[in-house]
């Protein structure tokens, strides 16, 4: 069966510090991978998605970046965190079905920037 | 363009009473529709999905949803609420490509 891991589960970082969040998927090959952010009281915002190694599409301009160094690994990074980067970060992978895409989500990382 | 609207930001029900979470969508072609549930500080879990088969879709934990093309709706229902159903629920439409569009979410409160 497929599983998706995210770490760390929680993170508290000072403003201006770097960030690296990691997501890995097991039990599937060549998944589509996604990073979402969920700010307090708001819905999910798609940040990046990837359809293959080294292929990253950015949805929202910001100080975050993503990389996919391996087929089942997706990394979210920042060189300098802002207060507004605080939120709940969710990684997801998807199966391309016959009609439409449904996604499976990781447990999330709670990031607090102070 | 595709969009999804969850008509209520909050819904409050008593335990044992029916649940109705409303969702309307806009799509230029036949959509795929999904409902996800998120408990506090957890990831999202797929409740059910509609992909152009039967219009009444049954999901996990006693939830079901009915696709009504004439009303462009995909409301989520459950006959009897349980305390463990208290969570946030997201209605989602698939664009048919690699991306999905999430509604703003409906927070369900269940009173004892």
* pLDDT tens, residue by residue, A56-82: 999 886 899 999 999 999 999 999 999
Ranges of chain B with pLDDT below 70: 96
* Residues in chain B closer than 8 A to A97 (CB atoms): 32, 51
Tell me the nearest-neighbour CA distance from A110 into chain B, angstroms. Answer: 8
pLDDT at position B76, please?
A: 98
Is it the case that residue A113 has pLDDT exceeding 80? yes
Retrieve residue A14's tokens.
């000072």
Closest CA to B16 of B104, B92, B80: B80
If phi over 0 gives left and psi between -120 and 50 gives alpha, with beta otherwise, what is residue B96? left
Contact yes or no for B46 and A102 at CB 8 A: yes
Contact yes or no for B96 and A100 at CB 8 A: yes
Q: How far apart are the first and last CA of chain A?
A: 38
Tell me the nearest-neighbour CA distance from A48 into chain B, angstroms. Answer: 10
A vs B, Cβ pairs < 8 A, gives 64
Q: How far apart are CA B85 and CA B87, in angstroms?
A: 6
Q: Which of A51, A107, A110 is closest, CB to CB, to B98?
A: A51
Contact yes or no for A99 and B51 at CB 8 A: yes
Is it the case that residue A7 has pLDDT exceeding 60? yes
Contact yes or no for B44 and A105 at CB 8 A: yes
* Residues in chain A closer than 8 A to B97 (CB atoms): 101
Decide if B49 contacts B34 (C-beta within 8 A). yes
Q: Report the SS3 class of residue B101.
A: strand
Is it the case that residue A112 has pLDDT exceeding 70? yes
Q: Tally the C-alpha atoms within 13 A of residue B101's C-alpha that lie toward its C-beta.
A: 18
Decide if A107 contacts A6 (C-beta within 8 A). yes
Is it the case that residue A97 has pLDDT exceeding 60? no
∠ Cα A84 A87 A90 (to 5°): 135
pLDDT at position A96, please?
A: 64
Contact yes or no for B31 and A100 at CB 8 A: yes
Is it the case that residue A42 has pLDDT exceeding 90? no
pLDDT at position A43, please?
A: 81
Is it the case that residue A98 has pLDDT exceeding 60? no
Q: How confident is the model at residue A19 (pLDDT cuts 50, 70, 90)?
A: very high
Percent of chain A with pLDDT over 70: 94
Decide if A13 contacts A112 (C-beta within 8 A). yes
Retrieve residue B30's tokens.
């036949």
Q: Which of A46, A96, A102 is closest, CB to CB, to B49?
A: A102
């Amino acid at each position: 069966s497929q599983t998706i891991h995210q770490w760390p589960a929680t993170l508290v970082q000072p403003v201006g510090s770097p960030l690296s969040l990691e997501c890995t998927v097991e039990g599937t090959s060549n998944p589509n991978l996604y990073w979402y952010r969920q700010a307090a009281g708001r819905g999910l915002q798609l940040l990046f998605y990837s359809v293959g190694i080294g292929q990253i599409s950015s949805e929202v301009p910001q100080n975050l970046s993503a990389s996919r160094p391996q087929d089942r690994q997706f990394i979210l990074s920042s060189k300098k965190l802002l207060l507004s980067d605080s939120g709940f970060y969710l990684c997801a992978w998807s199966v391309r079905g016959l009609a439409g895409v449904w996604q499976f989500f990781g447990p999330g990382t709670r990031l607090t920037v102070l | 363009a595709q969009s999804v609207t969850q008509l209520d930001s909050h819904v409050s029900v008593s335990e044992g009473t029916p649940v109705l979470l409303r969702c309307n969508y806009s799509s230029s072609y036949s959509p795929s529709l999904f409902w996800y549930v998120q408990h506090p500080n957890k990831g999202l879990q797929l409740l059910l999905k509609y992909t152009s088969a039967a219009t009444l879709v049954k999901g996990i934990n006693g939830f079901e949803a009915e696709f009504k093309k004439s009303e462009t709706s995909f409301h989520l229902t459950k006959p009897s609420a349980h305390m463990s159903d208290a969570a946030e629920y997201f209605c989602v439409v698939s664009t048919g490509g690699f991306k999905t569009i999430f509604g703003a979410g409906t927070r369900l409160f269940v009173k004892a």
